[in-house]
Amino acid sequence: MFDRIEHYAGDPILGLVSQFVADENPNKVNLGIGVYYDEDGKMPVLECVKTAEERIADPIKPRPYLPMQGLAGHRKGCQDLLFGADAAVLQEERVATIATIGGSGALKVGAEFINQWFPDAECYVSDPTWGNHIAIFEGSNITVKKYPYYDKATNSVRFDDMIACLKGMNKNDVVLLHPCCHNPTGMDLTQAQWDEVLDVIKAGELIPFMDIAYQGFGEDMDTDAYAIRKAVDMGLPLFVSNSFSKNLSLYGERVGGLSVVCPTKEEAERVFGQLTFTVRRIYSSPPSHGGHVVDIVMNDDALHEQWVGEVYAMRDRIKAMRSKLQAVLEEKVPNQNFDYLTRQNGMFSFTGLTPEQVERLRAEYGIYMVSNSRMCVAGLNSDNIDYIANAMAAVLQD
Nearer to ligand LMR, 243 or 259 (CB): 243
CB of 173 to ligand LMR, least distance (A): 25
If one asks whether residue 183 binds ligand LMR (CB under 6 A), the answer comes out as yes
Phi–psi pair at 239, nearest 5 degrees? -105, 135
Which of 211, 224, 295, 307 is the catalytic position? 211
* Distance from C-alpha of 298 to C-alpha of 295, rounded to nearest angstrom: 6
Residue with smallest beta-carbon separation from ligand LMR: 34
**218: helix, strand or coil:** coil
Nearer to ligand LMR, 51 or 351 (CB): 351
Active-site residue, 211 included: yes
CB of 270 to ligand LMR, least distance (A): 31
What's the length of the chain?
Answer: 398
CB of 368 to ligand LMR, least distance (A): 11
Nearer to ligand LMR, 134 or 236 (CB): 134
If one asks whether residue 34 binds ligand LMR (CB under 6 A), the answer comes out as yes
Q: Cis ω on the peptide bond leading into residue 263 (within 30° of 0)?
A: no
Number of other CB atoms surrounding residue 148 within 10 Å: 17
CB of 290 to ligand LMR, least distance (A): 16
Nearer to ligand LMR, 131 or 287 (CB): 131
CB of 96 to ligand LMR, least distance (A): 24
Let me know: does 308 contact 368? Beta carbons within 8 Å. no
Nearer to ligand LMR, 178 or 317 (CB): 178
- CA angle 40/319/28 to nearest 5° reads 40
* Distance from C-alpha of 146 to C-alpha of 162, rounded to nearest angstrom: 10
Let me know: does 261 contact 95? Beta carbons within 8 Å. yes
DSSP characters for 42-81? Answer: -PPPPHHHHHHHHHHHSS----PPPPTT--HHHHHHHHHH
Number of other CB atoms surrounding residue 369 within 10 Å: 26
Which of 224, 246, 295, 307 is the catalytic position? 246
Phi–psi pair at 108, nearest 5 degrees? -65, -45
Size of the site for ligand LMR (CB under 6 A): 6
Among 33, 232, 389, 391, the residue binding ligand LMR under the rule CB under 6 A is 33
DSSP 356: H
DSSP 18: H
Binding to ligand LMR in span 78-137, by CB under 6 A: 130, 132
* Per-residue interface string for the shown chain with ligand LMR, residues 40-79, x marking contact by CB under 6 A: ----------------------------------------
Nearer to ligand LMR, 139 or 204 (CB): 139
CB of 59 to ligand LMR, least distance (A): 34
Binding to ligand LMR in span 129-148, by CB under 6 A: 130, 132
Nearer to ligand LMR, 79 or 183 (CB): 183
CB of 244 to ligand LMR, least distance (A): 12
Which of 76, 108, 130, 194 is the catalytic position? 130
Let me know: does 108 contact 98? Beta carbons within 8 Å. no
Q: How far is CA 373 from CA 95, 145, 185, 326, 327, in A?
A: 37, 22, 9, 16, 19
Task: List residues near ligand LMR by CB under 6 A.
Answer: 13, 33-34, 130, 132, 183
Supply the residues annotated as catalytic: 130, 211, 246
